[in-house]
Amino acid sequence: MSRLTHVSLFVLAGLAGASAGALVDGSPHAAARSRHELVALANELARRHTQVERGDGTRRAEAEAAEDDVSREGPALDELIEHEREIAERRAAVITAAAERETLDPSWSAAAEHRIAEGLAAHGPPGVALVSSTCKTTLCIVELVHPPGDPGTEHVNWLPVFGLPRGFFVRHPPQPGRHARTMAYLARKGYSLPLAESNRRGPERWLVQGINWSRKERR
Amino acid sequence: MKSETRLNDHGRLVTVIVACVGLTLGGVVMQGLGPRIAMAGDNKILPAHACQPEEDPEYTIFSARYLENDLGAEQTYWCPVLRDDTQSELEFVRVRVENRGSSYKRPECTVHSVSVGGTFTDSEYEESPSTTGFFSLEFPLNGFTEYDNGHFVIECTLGDEDRILSYRTNESP
């Protein structure tokens, strides 16, 4: 609770006490004195408000400055992006391995693959083509290729297109001789995508070039 | 005169006692409420007015109670999620919507966790039942990756005359 609130409650309690005292002591002189005390307390409240607001402002400014310092000392944007790429590649590998280990649920996989193809044809962006889609029991992996000149950066909400509730999406920018691609790792309704570290729960930490990184996943 | 002074002294004494009792009780109450107030800070409920329509805002009705799609067709809205801590987790998201059933399209929302570079996205999708009425779209965000320094955003698509009332996020450090 902020110092301002503490001070306000303190003064309000004082005001309440003074009021109660005035009620108990009913003489006109006492009432006048109580009024005087109330005015004095109100002035004190205003004065302390000003002090605390100034103090809070100073502390806020100091905290913001400290945060700015931390930000400046933090990893550079290109380092963050590079590390994200490493994490995403590892996660994609884990999901791919999990999908390969899954047995085939023919009643679901064929219908899911069909729906993915139908959804893309009906609601997908023009020119984006399905390279492959593989569904097993709880997971699907879909590869899409974008048309020439399309960097693949346009936002598409793929989940309603494919009719599945959870997904992890990786954009691959165009390379020389290769169009942009999007990889979609999808989970069946009622299931989650596997974690990169299947035996761990909670924050993961790496020390990369002296910088602490963390990523959090939950089951 | 003397008795009046005694009475005034008595009044002052009572005043001091009442003030002390008030302060003590206040301290006890503050002590008890303190942690709850701190926890409540991680829960945020935002009115739908925080959401931005993808089309011209002219085709959205904003009232004190809701945001309503007035485009005459389905329309997408983007609702920001405030991340107090750049490395925090999003525990859950709930979006309160009203399906008014005036089109085949029912309200649907997707929570996106976007990496810093925007190359990787984790998404979770929910849609309201086809019946009309108020619904809370729940996103437990299981197996969801929250990218340090990345951002969260909620994408909602509404049928004509459907509404978003508010959305709630819970962030844990």
pLDDT band at B89 (very low <50, low <70, confident <90, very high): confident
Closest-CA residue of chain A to B37: A1
Query: With an 8 Å Cβ cutoff, are A25 and B10 in contact?
Result: yes
d(CA A138, CA A109): 8
Nearest of B152, B151, B148, B130 to residue B139 by alpha carbon: B152
* Tokens found for residue B41: 């800070």
Q: What are phi and psi of B92, to 5 degrees?
A: -160, 165
Alpha-carbon distance A194 to nearest alpha carbon in chain B (angstroms): 7
CA A183, B115, B76: angle at the middle one, nearest 5? 80
- Residue pair B121/B146 in contact (Cβ under 8 Å)? The answer is no
Closest-CA residue of chain A to B146: A216
Residues 6+ apart with CB under 8 A from B17: A17
pLDDT band at B48 (very low <50, low <70, confident <90, very high): very high
pLDDT tens-digit readout, A110-166 = 999 999 999 999 999 999 999 999 999 999 999 999 999 999 989 999 999 999 999
Q: What is the pTM of this model?
A: 0.68
Average pLDDT over residues A9-37: 52
Query: With an 8 Å Cβ cutoff, are B144 and A214 in contact?
Result: no
Query: With an 8 Å Cβ cutoff, are A10 and B120 in contact?
Result: no
Compute the mean pLDDT over every residue in chain B, rounded to the nearest whole number.
84
Average pLDDT over residues B4-20: 62
| Cβ within 8 Å of B, A 93-152 | none
- The answer, yes or no, to whether residue B22 has pLDDT greater than 80, is no
Report the percent of chain B where pLDDT is more than 70.
76
The single residue listed with the structure tokens 């009425």 is B133
More confident residue, A76 or A41: A76
- The answer, yes or no, to whether residue A192 has pLDDT greater than 70, is yes
pLDDT band at B55 (very low <50, low <70, confident <90, very high): confident
pLDDT number for residue A173: 92
pLDDT band at B87 (very low <50, low <70, confident <90, very high): confident
Cβ-based burial of B56 (10 A; exposed 0-12, middle 13-18, buried ≥19) = exposed
Residues in B closer than 8 angstroms to A24, CB to CB, are: 10-11, 14-15
Compute the mean pLDDT over every residue in chain A, rounded to the nearest whole number.
75
